[in-house]
Each structure stands twice: as C-alpha cells, then as structure tokens.
C-alpha cells in the first residue's frame, strides 16, 4: 500500500513515516504544497495524507486541484483542531476523512485501513487472531466457535486491539478510537469495558481466565495476546 | 410601551401651530368685531344727523325707519329703533320696540348748535358734510315729504345703553327743530360674527390635521438617518462587522453621527479580526508542538519494553499531553463561538444509536448508579458529528460527577413539534440557588459533594451550550424540589 504524506513539520512527518512503515506501508513524503501537488497528480497512491497549513500551496487548494483534475485518490486531511472552517470546507471539497492534530499514528493507520476497506467494497471482512474471530461486516464475534454477544463499544474495542496483536495500546489511544476525541480522558471507561469483554468471554466457559485474549500492561494499557 | 419620537414630533408641531392659529383667529375675530362696532356707531350717528333736520308725519318716520334698516344691512328689523322728538320734548315718533326703561327725554341729547358756531361742528368732525367722503352717502331722500330747511348742521353724539340683555348703540342728533335717536342692537352684527367663527372652526381642525400629517412626514424624513443606523446595527448583528453606513446626502449633524458609528464599527471589526487571527495562530502554535509531543511519546511507548517502568512513565506524560490539548481545544472552540464563527458541518446522524451507546457508557462509567434509558428509535438529526458527541458526553459526565450515592441517571428523548429533546436527569445533592445562574459560566465548577475532588476545568457546559446553539438548538436546565437535576438538549428535528 502506497501512502503520500504532505506535511511541512519535519518532526511530525518523521514519526508518521516511521509509524506507517512499521505497518508495512510504503510512504513518500513532501514538505511543501507545490511538490506535494505534483506527486499527488502523478498518481499511484492508495491514500494521500494532507496537512492543511503548508508552505507553497495549502492543503485545501491541493485537494481542490486534485478533484478538479479528476483524481479520486482518497484524502485524509490533517487539521489543527480549531480550524473548523477548514474541516468543513475540506469535507465539502471531497476529503474522505480528517484527523485533528494532535493525533495518534495508530489512529491514522486505523483510518487509512478503514478507507481502504471501504474502497475495496468487500461484503465480508473476517479478522481472526488465535481463538477469536470477528466479522467487521456482520459484527459477529466467536470465541473458540462459540458466539460472544458484544455491545457496539465492546466490539469496536476488541477490533482495535486485534489490528496489532502483541502491540500495547494506551488507554487514551483506545479511548480516542472507540469513544472519540472528546470523551473525558480521566474516566476509567476503558478498564470497565475490557473487564466486561473478559467476563463475557470467560462466561462461555471454554478455557480458564488466564486464557483471556486481552492482556493488561500495568500502568500503560492493553494488548491483544499474540498467538503462540 | 415605548413612545414614538416621530409621533411626538408630529403631535408637538400640531399642538404649537394649533395654539398659534387659535390665538390668531381669536384676535382676528376681536378686531373684526371691534371694527364692525365702530362702523355701526358711525352709521347710527350719520343716520341720526341726516334725519334730525327733517319734518315728517308718523307714517313717514315709519318708512324712514324701514329705509334705515335696509340701508344698514340689518337682518332683523327689531334690532333698530328710532325716536324723534320736537324741540319741546314732544315725541313725534317712537318705534314700537323702544324699551320702556329708557325715557327718551332723559337721553343725553347734545345741545343744538346755533348758526354762530359752525367751527364747533367742524371740530366735532361728525357732521354729515364732513363725513360725506368716507361714509356711505345717505340715499337721496326720494320720499321725504319736505326737504330739510337750510340751517346750522346738527349736533350729534353716540352713546351705549345696556338693558334687558340688549346692547344698544344709539346715535343722537339734535337741531334746534328736532331731536333724532337711532339705536341699533349690537346683536345685529352677531350673525356675521357667527359666520366668521364658523369659518374658523372649520379651518382650524383642518389645518391642524394638515400640519400633523406634514409634521409626521417631515419628522420621518428627518429621522431617516436614524433608521439607517438602526438597520445597519441590525445587519452587523446578523451578518458581521463589515457593514458600513453611507453618509452621502445626509445633513451634517447626521454625517457626524454616521462617521462616529462607522469608526466604532471599524475598530470593533479590527479587534475582532485580531482576536480571531490570534486564536487561529494560537491554535496552530499550540497544536503543532502538542502533535509532535504526542507522536513522539506514542513512538517511544511502542519502542519501550512492554510493562517497563519507563513505558508506564511515558504513558503518564502522554495522559497529561492529552489533557493539555483538550483544554486548549475547548478554549479555542469558545473563542470561535464568541467571534460568532462557530460553523457546523451538519450531516445525518443516528441520534438513537448514539444515545444507546451513551447509556452503555454511563452504565460502564457509573456501575454504582441506576442508569435507565428511554430512547425512541429512529431519531435522525442533522448535526456536526465531531461536535455533538462532546455535548452528550459532557451531559452524562456531569450527571455522574454531581450524583449522590445510590442515585440514578435517566436518559430519555422526546419529540416536540420542531425539535428533538434529549433529557439527562439525575439525582443530586442539590445546587445552591446562587450557583444555578453560574452553571454555564466558564471555569465554573460546582462544589463537589462530600468533598470529593471533581475532575475537569469547568468549560464543558459553556462549550456544550455554544455547540447546541450553533446547531440552532439550546441547552436548558432545571432542578426540582427533590434535587433532581434535568438538563435538556434541544436540537432542530
């Protein structure tokens, strides 16, 4: 998967590139609007991640130019969060999604994957890690073949963790992905939700509590158990 | 009720000109009346003088009386009386209406002149010959039985006698042969005066109405610049500070006002723009380092060994960074709302599903509370998906924070005519009356019950209300006597 990142802030570009490459994305990076637009027009990208405030040519004008030239490549806008007007204009200009700064690279990756999934138009989308299987389309979950009845929040949470088994996710990362940016960060809703998922899986009675697919990392957050 | 300045101007104009017109009409009426009286006096005197030298029988005098009545233009014959005496006090003729109270012989008759004193007659200035040029000439005595014999001109005077409601103006003339008194009642001119009065009474209200209408039109024209100012101020509220008023063609008093007003608008606009640019700049300046901090922390956390103290510490720092960006974000949102530029991107939104999730969240967040949801299915609204969830989260987090032990929270919906209402009710320890008014104030936090520390900076409700209002809705709140607090979020359906 090829991603074009147009972002002038070096340090942001650095960790975004690192994070994407870690997830096996191929990344091209431009640090100004003019070359960014040239790269974008050359095509061959699955997703373009576009900052709005850019030297040379701003993100909205690049987006406008791209859509005018008939390029349908999905675009995710990066905005400083208060730039509500930019966000509104960006969406009306044909951006596929937007992410407010500051953002988690994990969240950016999740958004990119969601856009790519939407673009592929698959009717089923099965994810399977170890004994847990889930279908993103029908939103059904099974644990060792037995159905687990999860609520919307619980499903989204476990789906998020399953994206990278063995990788630790902080509470705030989980909170932001499942509940959104604006949920009070001081709540313990993530821990409560994890416990409910664990209980539901344990209540199926197949395997002991130690088998729980979700592991706690003390002081940090949670991770999905990597199958041995 | 507010008084209309324009109406007052018009009424004042009508009142002042009404007073002036009334005074003018009244004095005119008096003048006309006085000059009519004077004329009547000179007429009776002239008639008396003319007749004083003549000798007639009773029928002749009666005819003369009728001739005088028509000559003087008197409408009612009873308003004129005639008395003739000979030199020795014998009454030759007396009109039938002559008042009994007046003894003709006691009238202050002038002393008849002798031929030796013609200059006295001239000095009196009332002789028939002397007055001939400016008084109606007596008609030629066609029917007189006898021409007046030549002799000294008559002596004459005018007197006034009031009796029985009549005001007699009497002309007395004396020659050495006879005395003639011609009396006319002042009432004889009353019909004429009444006619004049009637004309005034019609003209006055008519001109008052005209002046009132004119005053109304004129004050409307004079107040036009004021209306322009009002309209401009209204446009400023509705459309923004870039409105200006044209001073072209206005009087210089108003030009000054308009210029001052425009100057004020310009200053306001400039400082608002500065404030807005500052918040945009501040956002960029703040969000960029925060974004770098957060991204690098995320990277470092993943790089650290899972479960290591280092990883836990980095996570702690990350939480603080998140908190910082949340606060700065809310402040910027508020500054945008203040600048009137909180725009929303309305998209279809499944409110029912969001509220079901909210009930689930509330249950997870507050397992110690009884949480119920009464949510109508299929509630779809057009809202900003990034802003509205903040409002919902804020409402339930308050309901949890300010609840009591073994309390409850109820989330319900109601469909109004043009609005959808989301109600979040909860038990509480009560909100002091003094705090109720400040609940939407910035940085206001209610006193936590039982000394428990309440998280948050006190921006949630004011931000929430701004967001609700930007959607064309609102947030209201009430507390009942059982300390049940109910927040209602109203959204256009």
Mutation test of the interface with chain B: which of A101, A103, A180, A225, choosing the one with the most B Cβ atoms within 10 A? A101
Phi, psi of A159 (to 5 degrees): -60, -45
Rounded to whole angstroms, the Cα distance separating B315 from B293 reads 12
**Mean pLDDT of the region A4-30:** 93
Interface touch A80/B319, C-beta < 8 Å: no
* Residue B446: predicted pLDDT: 63
Q: Which residue of chain B comes nearest to A52, CA vs CA?
A: B284
**CATH number (domain holding residue A108):** 3.40.50.2300
Query: Which residues of chain A neighbour B382 with C-beta distances below 8 Å?
Result: none
Domain of residue A176, CATH code: 1.10.10.10
Q: Is residue B271 a contact partner of residue A184, using CB atoms and an 8 Å limit?
A: no
Higher model confidence: residue B1 or residue B36?
B36
Decide if A223 and B367 are in contact by the 8 Å CB cutoff.
no
Q: Say if residue A9 is in the same domain as residue A114.
A: yes
Contacts of B20 (CB under 8 A, 6+ apart): none
- Cα dihedral sign, A29-A33-A38-A41: positive
Q: Which residues of B touch A53 (CB under 8 A)?
A: 284
Q: Does residue A7 sit in the same domain as residue A109? A: yes
Structure tokens at A136: 């993103």
- Quote the crossing angle between the two packed helices B309-338 and A171-179, to the nearest 10°: 40
Average pLDDT over residues B355-360: 91
- Residues of A within 8 A of B345 (CB-CB) are 84, 87-88, 91-92
Question: Where in the sequence is the domain holding B467, given as residue range(s)?
Answer: 346-492
* pLDDT computed for residue A84 by the predictor: 64
Burial B133-171 (b: 16+ CB within 10 A, else e): eeeeebeebeeeeeebeeebbbbbbbbeeeeeebebbbb
Q: Is residue B313 domain-shared with residue B371, that is, in the same domain? A: no
pLDDT attached to residue B418: 86
Q: Is B106 exposed, middle or buried (0-12, 13-18, 19+ CB in 10 A)?
A: exposed
Both B410 and B275 in one domain: the answer is no
Q: Is the pLDDT of residue B341 over 80?
A: no
pLDDT at A210: 60
Determine the pLDDT at residue B452.
47
Q: Which of B299, B319, B364 sits opposite A19 (nearest CB)?
A: B299
Residue A188: phi, psi to the nearest 5?
-105, 25
Tell me whether residue B227 is in a domain.
no
Chain A hits for B323, Cβ within 8 Å: 185-186
- Asked if residue A147 and residue A75 are part of one domain, the reply reads no
pLDDT of B443 = 65
In a domain, B321, yes or no: yes
Model confidence at B207: pLDDT above 80: yes
Joined together, the tokens standing for residue B455 give 């998280």
| Beta strand pairing call for A168-170 and A221-224 | antiparallel
- My answer on whether B393 and B329 are in the same domain is no
Shared-domain flag, residues B55 and B141: yes
Please give the backbone phi and psi of residue B305, each rounded to the nearest 5 degrees, phi first.
-70, 130
For residue B322, the chain A residues in CB contact (below 8 A) are: 172, 185
Phi, psi of A89 (to 5 degrees): -65, -40
Tell whether A217 and A148 lie within a shared domain. Answer: yes
Task: Grade residue B140 by pLDDT with cuts at 50, 70 and 90.
Answer: low
A162 and A110 part of one domain: no
Burial state string for B191-225 with b = 16 or more CB within 10 A and e = fewer than 16: eebeeeeeebeeeeeeebeebbeebbeebeebbeb
Task: Judge contact between A33 and A54, C-beta under 8 A.
Answer: yes
Flag whether B231 is in a domain: no
Q: How confident is the model at residue B350 (pLDDT cuts 50, 70, 90)?
A: very high
Structural domain includes residue B226: no
CA distances to A6, B196, B291, B393 from A76, in Å: 10, 93, 16, 26
Instruction: Indicate whether A115 and A134 sit together in one domain.
Output: no
Smallest CA–CA distance from A183 into chain B, residue: B393
* Structural domain includes residue B220: no
Residue B238 pLDDT > 80, yes or no? no
Among residues B194, B215, B231, which one ends one of the domains? B194
Residues B366 and B470 in one domain: yes
pLDDT at B456: 58
Banded pLDDT at B116 (limits 50, 70, 90): low
Taking residues B394-413, what's their average pLDDT?
Answer: 90
Could you give the number of structural domains in chain B?
3
Mean pLDDT of A187-211: 80
Q: How many Å apart are CA B232 and CA B260, to the nearest integer?
A: 13
The answer, yes or no, to whether residue B126 has pLDDT greater than 50, is no
Least confident of A24-33, B37-46, B449-458: B449-458
> Does one domain contain both A83 and A158?
no
Among residues A120, A137, A172, the one where a domain terminates is A120
Q: Tell the burial category of B264 from Cβ atoms under 10 Å away from its Cβ (0-12, 13-18, 19+).
A: exposed
A-B Cβ pairs (cutoff 8 Å, strict): 156
Q: Peptide bond preceding B36: is omega within 30 degrees of 0, i.e. cis?
A: no
| Cross-strand bridge partners of residue B348 | B382
Position B121 pLDDT exceeds 70: no
pLDDT at B410: 95
Decide if pLDDT at B382 tops 80.
yes
β-strands A26-30, A2-6 pairing: parallel
Cα–Cα distance for residue pair B296/B314, rounded to 1 Å: 10
CB contact under 8 A, B361 and A196: no
Residue B151 and residue B185 in one domain: yes
> Both A116 and A130 in a single domain?
no
Contact B351, B379 (CB under 8 A): yes
Q: Are residues B297 and B368 in the same domain?
A: no
What separation, in Å, do the N-terminal and C-terminal C-alpha atoms of chain A show? 28
Region B423-438 average pLDDT: 84
Confirm if A66 and A59 have CB atoms less than 8 A apart: no
Smallest CA–CA distance from A218 into chain B, residue: B307
Q: Are A185 and B357 in contact (CB < 8 Å)? A: no
Inspect the interface and report whether the beta carbons of B298 and A153 lie closer than 8 Å.
no
pLDDT at B335: 72
Number of separate domains in chain A: 2
Cβ–Cβ under 8 Å, residues B311 and B304: yes
Instruction: Mark whether A111 and A6 lie in a shared domain.
Output: yes
Q: Do A83 and B301 touch (CB under 8 A)?
A: no
pLDDT of residue B135: 47
Rounded distance, CA B492 to CA B490, Å?
A: 7
**Residue B35 vs residue B347, higher pLDDT:** B35
pLDDT > 70: percent of chain B: 86
Q: Considering only alpha carbons, which residue of chain A is nearest residue B305?
A: A168
How much is the pLDDT for B426?
Answer: 93
Give the pLDDT confidence score for residue B331 in this predicted structure: 75
Q: Tell which of B338, B367, B387 closes a domain.
A: B338
Range of the domain at A77: 2-120
Boundary (domain end) residue, out of A93, A120, A147 = A120
**More confident position, B206 or B272:** B206
Question: Of B51-55, B86-90, B112-116, which one has max mean pLDDT?
Answer: B51-55
Q: Test A173 with B333 for CB contact under 8 angstroms.
A: no
Mean pLDDT of B128-135: 43
Give B183-203 pLDDT, tens digit per residue. 888 888 888 888 888 998 898
CA nearest B160: which of B102, B246, B223, B74?
B102
Q: Quick one: B334 and B412 in the same domain? A: no
Asked whether the predicted pLDDT for residue B333 surpasses 80, the reply is no
The token pair at B129 is: 């010959």
* Residues B350 and B321 occupy one common structural domain: no
Residue B139 pLDDT level (bands cut at 50, 70, 90): low
* Closest C-alpha among B383, B388, B376, B385 to residue B352: B376
The candidate with the shortest Cα–Cα distance to B431, out of B391, B484, B394, is: B484
| Calculated CA dihedral for residues A53, A56, A61, A62, nearest 10 degrees | -100
Among residues A141, A132, A158, A149, which one has the least CA distance to residue A203? A149
Region A189-212: what's the mean pLDDT? 80
The pLDDT of A74-101, averaged and rounded, is 80
Q: Among all residues of chain B, which has the CA nearest to that of A83?
A: B280
Q: In this predicted structure, which of A104-113, A154-163, B282-291, B365-374 has the lowest mean pLDDT?
A: B282-291
Contact B365 A189 (CB under 8 A): yes
Query: Is the Cβ pair A152, B367 closer than 8 Å?
Result: no
> Given pLDDT bands bounded at 50, 70 and 90, which one contains residue A94?
confident
Question: Model confidence over B454-485: pLDDT tens digits?
Answer: 555 566 788 888 889 889 999 999 998 888 99
Supply the pLDDT for residue B339. Answer: 65
Last residue of a domain, one of B194, B214, B238: B194
Same domain, yes or no: B313 and B364 = no
Q: Does residue B175 sit in the same domain as residue B312? A: no
In a domain? residue B216: no
Say which of A12, A151, A179 has its CB closest to residue B295.
Answer: A12
Q: Worst-scoring range by mean pLDDT, A52-56, B188-192, B284-288, B318-322? A: B284-288
Residue B221 lies in a domain: no
Torsion sign over Cα A29, A33, A38, A42: positive
Cβ-defined contact of B315 to A88 (cutoff 8 Å):
no
Residue B425: pLDDT band (50, 70, 90) is very high
Rounded Cα distance between B341 and B470, Å, is 9
More confident residue, B413 or B50: B413
Residue of A nearest to B346 (CA): A88
Distance between CA B136 and CA B17 in Å, rounded? 40
Q: Which two tokens stand for residue B370?
A: 């009884």
Q: Are residues A114 and A155 in the same domain?
A: no
> In the structure, what pLDDT confidence band is assigned to residue A141 with cuts at 50, 70 and 90?
very high
Residues A66 and A130 in one domain: no
Please report, for residues A219, B131, B142, B177, B253, the alpha-carbon distance to residue B181 in angstroms, rounded to integers and kept in the order given. Answer: 137, 18, 21, 14, 71
The residue ranking higher by pLDDT, A133 or B386, is A133
Residue B288 shares a structural domain with residue B362 = no
Check the CA dihedral B449-B451-B455-B457 and report its sign: positive
% of chain B with per-residue pLDDT over 90: 19
Residue A146 has pLDDT above 90, yes or no: no
The residue of chain B nearest to residue A102, with distances taken between CA atoms, is: B291
In chain B, residues with a C-beta closer than 8 Å to the C-beta of A222 are none
d(CA B24, CA B11): 20
Helix (H), strand (E), coil (C) string for chain B: CCCCHHHHHHHHHHHHHHHHHHHHHHHHHHHHHHHHHHHHHHHHHHHHHHHHCCCCCHHHHHHHHHHHHHHCCCCCHHHEEEEEEECCCCEEEECCCCCCCCCHHHCCCCCCCCCCCHHHHHHHCCCCCHHHHCCCCCCCCCCCCCCCCCCCCCEEEEEEEEECCEEEEEEEEECCCEEEEEEEEHHHHHHHHHHHHHHHHHHHHHHHHHHHHHHHHHHHHHCHHHHHHHHHHHHHHHHCCCCCCCCCCCCHHHHHHHHHHHHHHHHHHHHHHHHHHHHHHHHHHHHHHHHHHHHHHHHHHHHCCCCCHHHHHHHHHHHHHHHHHHHHHHHHHHHHHHCCCCCCCEEEEEHHHHHHHHHHHHHHHCCCCEEEEECCCCCEEEEECCCHHHHHHHHHHHHHHCCCCCCEEEEEEEECCCEEEEEEEEECCCCCHHHHCCCCCCCCCCCCHHHCCCCCCCCHHHHHHHHHHHCCCEEEEEECCCCEEEEEEEEEC
Residue B238 is assigned to a structural domain of this protein: no
Q: Are residues A6 and A114 in the same domain?
A: yes
Percent above pLDDT 70 for chain A = 93
Predicted confidence (pLDDT) per residue in B16-69, tens digit: 998 999 999 899 999 999 999 899 889 888 888 888 877 788 888 888 888 888
Domain closes at, from A104, A120, A136? A120
Q: Which residue has the higher pLDDT, A120 or A209?
A: A120
Average pLDDT, chain B: 81
């Amino acid at each position: 998967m090829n991603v074009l990142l147009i972002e002038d802030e070096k340090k942001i570009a650095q960790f975004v590139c690192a994070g994407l490459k870690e997830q096996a994305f191929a990344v091209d990076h431009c640090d100004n609007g003019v070359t960014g637009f040239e790269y974008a027009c050359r095509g061959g990208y699955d997703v373009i991640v576009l900052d709005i405030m850019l030297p040379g040519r701003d993100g909205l004008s690049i987006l406008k130019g791209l859509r005018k030239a008939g390029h349908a490549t999905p675009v995710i806008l990066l905005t400083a969060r208060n730039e509500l007007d930019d966000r509104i204009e960006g969406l009306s200009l044909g951006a596929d999604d937007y992410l407010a700064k500051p953002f988690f690279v994990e969240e950016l990756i999740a958004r990119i994957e969601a856009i790519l999934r939407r673009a592929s138009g698959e009717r089923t989308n099965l994810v399977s890690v170890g004994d847990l299987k889930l279908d993103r389309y029908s939103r059904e979950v099974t644990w060792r073949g037995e159905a687990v009845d999860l609520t919307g929040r619980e499903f989204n949470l476990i789906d998020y963790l399953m994206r990278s088994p063995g990788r630790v996710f902080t509470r705030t990362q989980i909170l932001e992905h499942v509940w959104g940016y604006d949920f009070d960060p001081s709540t313990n809703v993530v821990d409560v939700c994890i416990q409910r998922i664990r209980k539901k899986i344990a209540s199926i009675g197949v395997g002991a509590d130690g088998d729980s697919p979700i592991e706690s990392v003390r002081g940090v957050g949670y991770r999905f158990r990597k199958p041995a | 009720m507010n008084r209309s300045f324009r109406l007052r101007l018009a009424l004042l104009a009508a009142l002042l000109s009404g007073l002036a017109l009334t005074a003018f009409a009244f004095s005119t009426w008096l003048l006309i009346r006085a000059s009519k009286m004077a004329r009547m006096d000179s007429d009776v005197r002239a008639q008396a003088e003319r007749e004083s030298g003549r000798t007639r029988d009773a029928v002749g005098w009666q005819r003369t009386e009728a001739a005088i009545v028509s000559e003087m233009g008197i409408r009612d014959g009873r308003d004129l009386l005639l008395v003739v005496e000979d030199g020795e006090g014998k009454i030759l003729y007396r009109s039938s209406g002559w008042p009994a109270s007046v003894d003709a012989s006691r009238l202050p008759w002038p002393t008849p002149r002798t031929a030796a004193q013609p200059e006295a007659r001239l000095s009196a200035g009332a002789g028939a010959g002397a007055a001939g040029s400016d008084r109606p000439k007596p008609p030629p005595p066609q029917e007189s039985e006898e021409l007046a014999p030549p002799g000294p001109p008559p002596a004459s005077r005018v007197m006034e006698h009031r009796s029985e409601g009549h005001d007699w103006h009497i002309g007395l003339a004396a020659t050495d042969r006879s005395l003639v008194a011609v009396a006319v009642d002042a009432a004889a001119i009353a019909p004429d005066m009444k006619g004049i009065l009637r004309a005034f009474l019609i003209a006055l209200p008519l001109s008052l109405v005209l002046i009132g209408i004119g005053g109304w039109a004129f004050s409307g024209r004079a107040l036009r610049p004021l209306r322009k100012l009002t309209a401009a101020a209204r446009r400023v509220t509705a459309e923004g500070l870039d409105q200006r008023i044209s001073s072209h063609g206005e009087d210089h008093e108003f030009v000054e006002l308009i210029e001052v007003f425009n100057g004020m608008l310009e200053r306001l606009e400039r400082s608002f723009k500065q404030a807005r640019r500052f918040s945009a700049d501040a956002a960029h300046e703040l969000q960029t380092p925060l974004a770098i901090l957060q991204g690098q922390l995320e990277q470092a956390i993943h790089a650290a060994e899972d479960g290591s103290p280092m990883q836990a510490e980095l996570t702690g720092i990350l939480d603080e960074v998140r908190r910082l960006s949340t606060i700065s974000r809310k402040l910027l949102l508020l500054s945008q709302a203040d600048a009137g530029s909180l725009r929303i991107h309305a998209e279809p939104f499944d409110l029912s599903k969001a509220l079901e999730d909210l009930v689930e969240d509330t249950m997870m967040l507050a397992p110690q509370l009884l949480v119920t949801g009464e949510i109508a299915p299929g509630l779809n609204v057009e809202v900003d998906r990034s802003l509205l969830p903040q409002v919902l989260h804020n409402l339930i987090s308050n309901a949890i924070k300010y609840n009591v032990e073994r309390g409850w929270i109820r989330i319900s919906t109601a469909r109004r005519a043009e609005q959808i209402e989301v109600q979040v009710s909860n038990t509480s320890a009560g909100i002091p009356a003094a705090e109720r008014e400040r609940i939407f104030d910035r940085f206001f936090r209610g006193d936590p019950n039982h000394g428990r520390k309440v998280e948050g900076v006190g921006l949630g409700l004011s931000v929430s209300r701004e967001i609700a209002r930007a959607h064309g809705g609102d947030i209201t709140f009430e507390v009942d006597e059982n300390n049940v607090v109910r927040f209602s979020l109203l959204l256009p359906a």
